[in-house]
Structure 1
């Protein structure tokens, strides 16, 4: 089998569509089908199922082969980058995933710094929930992901600690306090976001034996800010997420602090490509030991 055939299989497995793969790779659909058939014939196993109702599905062995093929393609990309580096060139693509607030906070300065020195590197950026990004790293769909720690299944590089803060509407009686005790939030109307906030918040309330009354649960910080501004409750959100949304509301630290740790995850740090290693070095230079 050829690298091109492997690349075609990976794309079909990801899109679950022969038609879409043919369109993306500028091929005919019969050519895509022939590439898949060639791999299946060589391995003497069925990797994909064609179901009239459900469409294209991966078999059990197909899932396992997909993981290995992704590793092969990433190894080829690593070879190309190493050869280019030896020639004094900067080429290649690095695939990075992050949950939305981390994407907005970390990626622009990291990429800006890298592009100043390596303008030809291409970044393929993907956003998803915290669990989705972890899964993408585990299955090698991406080369590196910014995730919530810990994750014992992969190699991780801690970046920073992210504290939860309280967002108060105008005129709220707690505005005069320096910090707000978690126990004083027992049964208070609270608004918080999904997408990586909820676990740390719930655990923080449990430790203080305070009951979290989630009056509203949003899926983005801008909605939370608007709801707090309308006096619908106090917001509790990470300082990192809040930093990407300008506002004029009062922000207070919690007592004790509720924190979550953010870091970079890679399937294997020793096997990471030169571009991924550059991404990690740059992220550490810009963010390690910097409080958010």
Structure 2
């Protein structure tokens, strides 16, 4: 089998058709059909079911697809390495980002300098919950991703540390307290945001054998904060994810005991990192190392 045959197989499987796959790959439909037929003959199994113009994967075809996709990810890394050898005049950087902390706070600052330094590198950003970003890294669908640390299964670089805070309606009885406990937050309806640190929040309660009364699960932080502002519940979020102009909408209180959170960037294996991704990591470290130094110099 050849890499081209495998790429054609994946295209047909994902697009569910020979015509669409041919258009995507910019080759003839007959070339697609020939490649699939040759691959099936070599493997001795039927990969696709064809009936009435529809394409479906056989059971073995679906299993092979799962094995082929990571292989193509490695092939892309090899191509990227070849491109990197041409002084990064061509290439692609795929970034996985979660929640406001990375998507709105960390990433824009890095990308501003990255695009200036490497204008010919095409940057693709995929956004999803933190668990989704880790899945993208494991499946090699992104080259580098923002994650909550520690995360032992990846090679990681810390960038930012903040704390988890409780967010309460302005008229809430606990609003006058300087700090609140996890137990305090179990009496009210709870709004769980899946935009960033939902797993961390769930782990906090589980660690002390408490269970919040989850009323809402939201995919966007702004939806979570809007629900709290309406008085529909309370929540816990990362302090760095909160908008700057929100003091009149809800009350933010530190947790007791305090819960620190660290956010960094990760790759699946630093030995396989492309030059485009390595340049992004080095730039991110430089930017946020200098920012930490500035904060310490100002006594913050």
- How many residues are treated as equivalent by the alignment? 285
Q: What CA distance in whole angstroms lies between the structure 2 residues aligned with 1:73 and 1:6?
A: 13
Out of 77, 82, 95, the position equivalent to 1:74 is 77
| TM-score using structure 2 length | 0.80
Map 1:1-292 onto structure 2 (within 5 A): 4-41=4-41, 43-46=42-45, 48-50=47-49, 52=51, 55-56=56-57, 58-82=61-85, 84-85=86-87, 90-101=89-100, 102-243=102-243, 246-248=245-247, 249-287=250-288, 290=292
In structure 2, the CA distance between the partners of 1:286 and 1:218, relative to structure 1 (3 Å rule), is same
In structure 2, the CA distance between the partners of 1:134 and 1:281, relative to structure 1 (3 Å rule), is same
Q: What CA distance in whole angstroms lies between the structure 2 residues aligned with 1:156 and 1:200?
A: 18
Q: What CA distance in whole angstroms lies between the structure 2 residues aligned with 1:105 and 1:246?
A: 15
Is contact 1:5–1:35 with CA below 8 Å preserved after alignment?
yes
In structure 2, the CA distance between the partners of 1:124 and 1:4, relative to structure 1 (3 Å rule), is farther
Q: What CA distance in whole angstroms lies between the structure 1 residues aligned with 2:71 and 2:46?
A: 13
Point out where structure 2 has 5 or more consecutive residues left out of the alignment: 296-300
In structure 2, the CA distance between the partners of 1:262 and 1:8, relative to structure 1 (3 Å rule), is farther
**Residue 199 of structure 1: CA displacement?**
2.6
Is contact 2:137–2:144 with CA below 8 Å preserved after alignment?
yes
SS in 1 for 2:202: helix
Point out where structure 1 has 5 or more consecutive residues left out of the alignment: none
Is contact 2:169–2:228 with CA below 8 Å preserved after alignment?
yes
Is contact 2:10–2:65 with CA below 8 Å preserved after alignment?
no
**Residue 39 of structure 1: CA displacement?**
4.4
**Residue 230 of structure 1: CA displacement?**
1.2
| TM-score using structure 1 length | 0.82
